[in-house]
Chain A
Amino acid sequence: MVSIFIVDDDENLHRVYRSFFTMKGIDVIASAFDGSEAVKIFGKLNPRPDILLMDYRMPNKDGVSTTKEIKQIDPASKIIFLSADETARDQAFKAGAISFLIKPVRFAHLLQTISEVLDHQ
C-alpha cells in the first residue's frame, strides 16, 4: 500500500485529500500544518512515507526550506509540491522536489503524478 505524508496549512484540504486518498487506497500516514511541524514529524516517522505532498506558503517554515531539511534527514524522500504559487517552482526543484503541481489540480492529474513518481523509482 502506498503511503503519503500531507503537509499543508489548509485544514479543509487535509480533509478532502484524506477522503480521496482513502477512497483510492492510499494510506495517509501523517499530516502536518506547517513546515516546522512537518520536519519534526518526519524525523520520527518509521517507516518513511512513499510520497510527501508539500505546500509552499505555510506559517513558520515554507515548503522549500522544509523540503531542504527533509532531504537532509532522508535524501531518498519523494516530495511533490502542490502550491498555488507558481513562482516557487525553480526553488522547489532546487531544494529537491520531484514534481511541481499548481493548485487547483484535478484528482486524476494528482493520481497520475503520484504513480509516475512511484514508477520512476
Chain B
Amino acid sequence: MRPPTNHSNGLINENSSIHRSRFVRIIEAAGALVVGMNTQGQITLFNKRCEEVTGYSEKEVLGKTIFPLLIPEDELAGVLERFRRLVNGKLPTYSPQVHWITKTGEKRLMQWNNTFVTDEMGKVEEIFGIGIEITEWKKAQQALKESETQYQSLFDSVPVGLYRTTPDGQILEINPALVAMLGYEDKEELIKRNASEFYVDATARKRWKALIEQEEVVRGFEVQFRRRDGQIIWVELNARAIRNEKGEVYCYEGNLEDITKRKETEIALLAAHHRSEFLLDLMAHDLNNINQGIMLALELIENDDQLPPHLRESVRDTLAQVERSADLIANVKRFQSLKIEPRLLGSRDLSPPFHAAVRAVERAFPNKQLFLTTNIEDGKYQISGDGFITELFFNLLHNAMKMDSNTFVKVEVQANTVEKGEFLKIQIMDQGPGVPNSEKKRIFSHYKEDSAGERGSGVGLTLVQRIIQRYGGQIWVQDRIEGDYTQGANFVLLLPRGED
C-alpha cells in the first residue's frame, strides 16, 4: 500500500485509498479521545480511548447527553455556554481544559480541541472533540505553582534581606525585608539602583567581590551601608557566587542583615577594652618610672654616711616595699599576658615562694606583727604552679593581716597531702572577724559586683581565685571554728601536687 499522494487541498477525499478504519485507528492509537455530539449534546461517537478513560462503553453512552453525564457540576455552566455558542456558529474552534467524571467518579482533566462539521447550508451538524488527557501534567504544574507560591511567600516574609545581584551590581531580586532595611518605599525604586551605591566605602564591594569570586561563599562580611535617607547602618553579608554552564559568575545570591546594634555594642566593648589596656599600660609604665625615682632617692639616703644605723634598716624595709610595688606591676603585666601565653606550670617547692610572701606581708604592715605557725618547710611540699605562687600567698596573708584589727596577728598555715596524694591541702587560719556565711561565696568575686567599691580585699582575693583556677586547684572559705564565724576564717586551698 502506497502512502497517499493525491491531496489537492489537504483533505482526505472520498476517492483516496485510505480506508475509514485507518482514521479511526490513527486517532485511537494515538491515544487521543474522540467524542462526537449532535447539536443537542447527545453523544454520537465515543472512541476506544474514551471508553478506557471513563470506564463507560460506547454503547452505554451513545444517544445520552454529554452533560451532565461526563461534565462535573462546577464546570457545567461554562461548558454549556460554550457549547451553545459553538452550535450557533459564534465560536470558532477553541481548546478548553475540561474535567470528565469517570464511571467510578474520578475526575480526569482533558485538553480538548473542539471543532464542528457543517451541512451544505453551513449549519452546524455535529461537534467533535479530540482530547488528550493532561491530568498528570496538570498535577505537576499545580505542584510547581504551589511550590513557587510557598518559596515566594518565604522570600517575601522572612525577616532577613534576601537578594540576587549581578557582578556589575545590577539588582535582580530583592525581598521586602531588604527594601525596608535600606529605607526604600518599594522594590521598583530600589531595583533601579546599583548595588555598589549602598556601600559607604566604595572599595568594600570590590574587596567583597574579589573574595567571593575566589572563595565561592563569603560569610559574615561586615560592612557599612548607606540607607536611602543617608543614615549609615552596619550590615552583615552572607552570599555565594552562582556560575553559568561556562563557569562564569553570573550572579551572587545571599542574605543581608542589619547588625548596627550589635556592631555598636562590639565597638563599645572594644573601646572599653582598649581603654582598660591603655590605662593598664600607662599605669604600669608611669608607676615604674615613679618607683625609679623613689627607689633611687631612698638608695641615696641609705648610702649616706650620715644616716644612723638604726634607721638604715627601716630605709631598707621601705626600699623592699618599693620593690614589692615593682613586682606587683610586673606580675600584673604577666597576668595580662596569661591569656595569650600558654600556661607554663612546673613542679615547684612551695616553701621559698611562701616565705617570700610572708616577708613581703610583714614589710607591708610595719606597724603590725605577724605570728605565723606553719608546717611548710624547704623541700617538704611540691606543687604544680608558676611564678604567681608568692602573689597567691601574699594576697591571702595580706588579707588576714588587714582584717585583723589586733597589732599582733596570729595566723596558722597547715599543709597536708590529700586525695590519694594528688592534691596538697593548705589551710590558712586567722583570728580576724571571720566571714559570715552570706559572704563566703561572694568574697572571691567581689570585683564584679562591686568593682567601684573598696571593701575588703576583694580584688586581691579575686586574683587568688584566678591563680588557683589556673593551677587547676580550688579554694573556699570556712569558719576556723565550725559554726562560729566570728572566731576567724579558714581559707582552704586544694593545689595539684608537683613531682617530688
Task: Determine whether the beta carbon of B322 is less than 8 Å from that of A104.
Answer: yes
A91, CB-defined interface residue at 8 Å:
no
Within 8 A of B (CB), among A1-21: 10, 12-13, 16-17, 19-20
Q: Which chain A residue lies CB-closest to B295?
A: A104
B-facing residues in A69-121 (Cβ within 8 Å): 82, 84-86, 102-107
Interface of A with B (CB < 8 Å)? 10, 12-13, 16-17, 19-20, 23, 57, 82, 84-86, 102-107
Q: Which residue of B lies closest to A107 (CB)?
A: B299
Residues of B within 8 A of A102 (CB): 288
B291 is an interface residue with CB less than 8 A from chain A? yes
Which of A57, A84, A85, A107 is close to B296, meaning CB atoms less than 8 Å apart? A107
Report if A12-B293 is in contact (Cβ < 8 Å); known contacts: A19-B300, A106-B299. Answer: yes
What residues of chain B lie closer than 8 Å to A104, measured between beta carbons?
288, 291-292, 294-296, 322-323, 326
Chain A residues whose C-beta falls within 8 Å of the C-beta of B422 in the assembled complex? none
Nearest residue, chain A, Cβ from B326? A104
Does A23 contact B285, Cβ atoms closer than 8 Å?
no
Q: Once the chains are docked, how many angstroms separate the CA of A53 from the CA of B131?
A: 106
Which B residues are CB-close (under 8 A) to A13?
289, 292-293, 296
A84 touches B297 (CB 8 A): no
Rounded to whole angstroms, the CA-CA distance of A103 and B294 in the bound complex is 11
Spell out B's residues near A (CB within 8 Å).
Answer: 284-297, 299-300, 303, 322-323, 326, 333
CA A103 – CA B291 in complex, angstroms?
Answer: 8
A105, B299: Cβ atoms under 8 Å?
Answer: no
Distance in angstroms between the alpha carbons of A20 and B293 in the assembled complex? 11
Say how far A35's CB is from chain B's closest CB, in angstroms. 16
Pick 5 A–B contacts, CB within 8 A, sort by A: A13-B293, A16-B293, A82-B292, A103-B292, A104-B295
Give A108's nearest chain B residue, CB to CB: B299
- For B293, the chain A residues whose CB sits under 8 A away are 10, 12-13, 16
- 4 smallest beta-carbon distances between A and B, as pairs: A84-B288, A104-B292, A16-B296, A103-B292
Residues of chain A within 8 A of B286, CB atoms compared: 84
Contact (Cβ within 8 A) A16 B297: yes
B291's nearest neighbour on chain A, judged by CB, is A104
In whole angstroms, what is the CA distance A85 to B333 when docked? 11
Q: A84-B285, A84-B289, A105-B292 are in contact. List 15 more A-B contacts (CB 8 A).
A: A12-B293, A13-B289, A13-B293, A17-B296, A20-B300, A23-B300, A57-B285, A82-B292, A103-B289, A104-B288, A104-B295, A104-B296, A105-B295, A106-B295, A106-B299
* Nearest B residue to A17, CB-CB: B296
Cα distance A20–B300 when bound, in Å? Answer: 7
A64 to chain B minimum Cβ distance, whole angstroms, is: 15
Report if A84-B300 is in contact (Cβ < 8 Å); known contacts: A57-B285, A104-B326. no
Task: Let me know if A16 and B300 touch, CB within 8 A.
Answer: yes
Q: With A and B bound together, what is the CA distance between A82 and B287 in angstroms?
A: 14
Query: Could you tell me the distance in whole angstroms from the C-beta of A18 to the nearest C-beta in chain B?
Result: 11
- Which A residues are CB-close (under 8 A) to B295? 104-106
Considering only CB atoms, which chain B residue lies closest to A14 in the complex?
A: B293
Which of A20, A57, A84, A105: most chain B Cβ within 10 A?
A: A84
Shortest beta-carbon distance from B312 to chain A in Å: 15
B299's closest neighbor in chain A, by CB?
Answer: A107
Closest residue of chain B to A84 (Cβ to Cβ) is B288
Which partner residue on chain A sits nearest B287 by CB separation?
Answer: A84
CA distance A85 to B300 in the complex (A): 24
Cβ B289 vs Cβ A20 within 8 A: no
Q: With a CB–CB cut-off of 8 A, which chain A residues contact B323?
A: 104
Shortest Cβ distance from B319 into A: residue: A106
Task: Report Cα–Cα, A15/B447, bound state, in Å.
Answer: 39
Closest CB of chain A to B115's CB: distance in Å? 95
Report A-chain residues with C-beta under 8 Å of the C-beta of B288.
Answer: 84, 102-104
Per the bound structure, the CA–CA distance linking A48 and B284 in Å amounts to: 34
Give complex CA distance A88, B286 in Å.
Answer: 15
A85 to B329, CA, bound (A): 12
For B322, give the chain A residue with the smallest CB separation.
Answer: A104
Which residues on the B side are within 8 Å of A86 (C-beta)?
333
Q: How far is the CB of B443 from chain A (nearest CB, A)?
A: 33
Q: CA A107 – CA B297 in complex, angstroms?
A: 10
Chain A residues whose C-beta falls within 8 Å of the C-beta of B296 in the assembled complex: 13, 16-17, 20, 104, 107
Q: Which residues of B contact A10 (CB under 8 A)?
A: 289, 293
Cα(A12)–Cα(B289), bound, Å? 10
Q: Determine the distance from Cα of A84 to Cα of B291 in the docked complex, in whole angstroms.
A: 10
